[in-house]
Amino acid sequence: MKFGVVVFPGSNCDHDAFYAISNILKKPVEFIWHQSQDLANCDAIILPGGFAHGDYLRTGAIARFSPVMKAVEKFAKSGGMVLGICNGFQILLEAGLLPGAMMRNSGLRYICRHVLIRVEQTDTPFTNAALQGQVLKIPIAHNDGNYNADEATLADLEKNRQILFRYTTPDGANDAVGNPNGSLHNIAGICNRERNVAGLMPHPERAVESALDSADGLVIFKSLVESLVTAAKATA
């Protein structure tokens, strides 16, 4: 089992994702430079947060053209697990690996704080260790997390149960109140129809130790590890 963390120029949560996997989960992980043509035989790929290529033009708009994205796309199409966090989510949207687009937060300001998100689906490699309806406390830190898509796409997402996380309140009851950025359908994270590519705006890698105020993000990484173990057994 080996994780790969892609490093774009301007990625700044690459070290944090690496640390969560190597020091907290204690699993093998390596960095993959954005110029790389291959994924160094990694079994799961993380696109980390940050401001890839300065987020000039639009968030993620330039990063999708980095050479490594061809390999990521191929990997995803063949069923490989890809998780985009924050800027990584934005890049997956721009690359067309996930549907929809990101707009500026409705308050037109950068927001960094802990939010609560509810796990909506547990039959994905990113959430299978979580409980349906479980509320997680995880920080957000973004300018552009206002998820947007047309009605048909949103209907598809709902119908195919692709919405993995929604913003909510402590009791899991009032999503609109918990929504920090105006995201449609209170979406915090989604997956593709095949359920092997996911993106979310909150930063689970910043919530893996109680010393940092929350370890709720661990469940996402643990889900990935379990999925990789299961996949390895299946092929063995």
Report the interface residues with another protein, using CB under 8 A.
Answer: 9-10, 12-13, 15-16, 19-20, 22-23, 49-51, 53-56, 109-114, 116, 137, 139, 141, 143, 170, 203, 205-206, 208-209, 211-212
Say which of 13, 42, 86, 191 is annotated catalytic: 86
Say which of 34, 94, 191, 205 is annotated catalytic: 205
112 or 155, CB closer to another protein? 112
Q: Is 203 a catalytic residue?
A: yes
Label residue 121 left, alpha or beta by phi (over 0 means left) and psi (-120 to 50 means alpha): beta
Q: What's the token pair of residue 209?
A: 């130790």
Q: Is 53 a catalytic residue?
A: no
CB of 124 to another protein, least distance (A): 25
21 or 149, CB closer to another protein? 21
Torsion sign over Cα 84, 175, 123, 213: positive
CB of 21 to another protein, least distance (A): 11
By annotation, the residues acting in catalysis are 86, 203, 205
